[in-house]
Amino acid sequence: MVDIVIKHGTVVTMDPSRRVIADGALAIEGDSIVAVGKTQDIAASHSAALTIDATDRLVIPGLIDGHNHPFQYLSKGIGDDVDIMTWLYRRVYPFEAAVSAEEAYIGALGNFAQMIRSGTTCFNDPGGYHADSLAQAALDIGMRGIVNRSTRDLADDDVPIPEKHFEDTDTALARSEALIDRWHGAADGRLRAWTSLRYIPNCSDDLCRRVKDLADRHGVGIHTHVAAVFGENELITKKFGKRSLERYHDLGLFGPNLYCVHMGYPNEREVGWLKQHDVKVAHCPSASMHGSYGVIHNRMMPAMAEAGITISLGTDSATAGRFLDMVRVMYLAACAHKDAYVDPLKMGAHKALEMATIDGARACLWDDQIGSIEVGKKADIVLVDMTGLHWAPTIDPVNTLVYAANGTDVETVIINGRVIMRDRTLLTVDLASLRRDIDAAAKAIWRRSDLSLAPRWPAA
pLDDT tens digits, residue range 255-271? Answer: 999 999 999 999 999 99
Give whole-number Cα distances, 178 to 148, 164, 168, 188, 282, in Å.
Answer: 11, 19, 16, 19, 26
Question: Could you give the percent of the chain with pLDDT greater than 70?
Answer: 100
Q: What is the mean pLDDT of the chain?
A: 95
Fold of 63-363: TIM Barrel (3.20.20)
Q: Are 312 and 281 in contact (CB under 8 A)?
A: yes
Pairing label, strands 144-147, 258-262: unpaired
Q: Report how far residue 404's alpha carbon sits from residue 397's, in angstroms, rounded to the nearest whole number.
A: 10
Residue 267: burial class (beta carbons within 10 Å; 0-12, 13-18, 19+): middle
Residue 373: burial class (beta carbons within 10 Å; 0-12, 13-18, 19+): buried
Give whole-number Cα distances, 383 to 63, 224, 380, 401, in Å.
Answer: 11, 32, 10, 12
Q: What is the mean pLDDT of residues 114-143?
A: 96
Q: What is the pLDDT of residue 166?
A: 87
Total count of residues recorded for the chain: 460
Q: What is the dihedral of CA 261, 354, 218, 415, to 10 degrees?
A: 110
The mean-pLDDT minimum among 106-110, 217-221, 391-395, 455-459 falls in: 455-459
Q: Are 313 and 302 in contact (CB under 8 A)?
A: no
Amino acid at 238: K
The mean-pLDDT minimum among 33-37, 74-78, 142-146, 159-163 falls in: 159-163
Q: What is the pLDDT of residue 315?
A: 98
Residue 386 C-beta-side C-alpha neighbours within 13 Å: 25
pLDDT tens digits, residue range 291-323? Answer: 999 999 999 999 999 999 999 999 999 999 999
Instruction: Give this prediction's pTM.
Output: 0.96
Q: What is the pLDDT of residue 158?
A: 82
Among positive and negative, which fits the CA dihedral 366, 261, 119, 22?
A: negative
Q: What is the mean pLDDT of residues 22-45?
A: 98
Name which residue leads in pLDDT, 391 or 77: 391
Fold of 2-61+372-426: Urease, subunit C; domain 1 (2.30.40)
pLDDT tens digits, residue range 165-197? Answer: 889 999 999 999 999 999 999 999 999 999 999
3-state SS of the chain is CEEEEEEEEEEECCCCCCCEEEEEEEEEECCEEEEEEEHHHHHHHCCEEEEEECCCEEEEECEEECCECHHHHHHCCCCCCCCHHHHHHHHHHHHHHCCCHHHHHHHHHHHHHHHHHCCEEEEECCCECCHHHHHHHHHHHCCEEEECECCCCCCCCCCCCCHHHCCCHHHHHHHHHHHHHHHCCCCCCCEEECEEEEEHHHCCHHHHHHHHHHHHHHCCCEEEEECCCCCHHHHHHHHHCCCHHHHHHHCCCCCCCEEEEECCCCCHHHHHHHHHCCCEEEECHHHHHHHCCCHHHHCHHHHHHHCCCCEEECCECCCCCCCCCHHHHHHHHHHHHHHHHCCCCCCCHHHHHHHHCHHHHHHCCCCCCCCCCCCCCECCEEEEECCCHHHCCCCCHHHHHHHHCCHHHEEEEEECCEEEEECCEECCCCHHHHHHHHHHHHHHHHHHCCCCCCCCCCCC
Q: What is the pLDDT of residue 456?
A: 87
Q: What is the pLDDT of residue 162?
A: 84
Q: Report how far residue 290's alpha carbon sits from residue 271's, in angstroms, rounded to the nearest whole number.
A: 25
Pairing label, strands 2-12, 20-29: antiparallel
Residue 199 C-beta-side C-alpha neighbours within 13 Å: 19
Among positive and negative, which fits the CA dihedral 367, 177, 73, 188?
A: positive
Q: Report how far residue 63's alpha carbon sits from residue 119's, in angstroms, rounded to the nearest whole number.
A: 6
Q: What is the mean pLDDT of residues 415-429?
A: 98
pLDDT tens digits, residue range 52-69? Answer: 999 999 999 999 999 999
pLDDT band at 134 (very low <50, low <70, confident <90, very high): very high
Rg, Å, the chain Cα set: 21
Return the number of other C-beta atoms located less than 10 Å from residue 30's C-beta: 14
Q: Report how far residue 454's alpha carbon sits from residue 460's, in angstroms, rounded to the nearest whole number.
A: 13
Q: Are 114 and 133 in contact (CB under 8 A)?
A: no
Domain ranges of the chain: 2-61+372-426, 63-363
Q: What is the mean pLDDT of residues 26-41?
A: 98
CA angle 223, 226, 230 (to 5 degrees): 150
Q: Report how far residue 439's alpha carbon sits from residue 434's, in angstroms, rounded to the nearest whole number.
A: 9
Q: What is the mean pLDDT of residues 128-142?
A: 96
Q: What is the pLDDT of residue 246?
A: 97
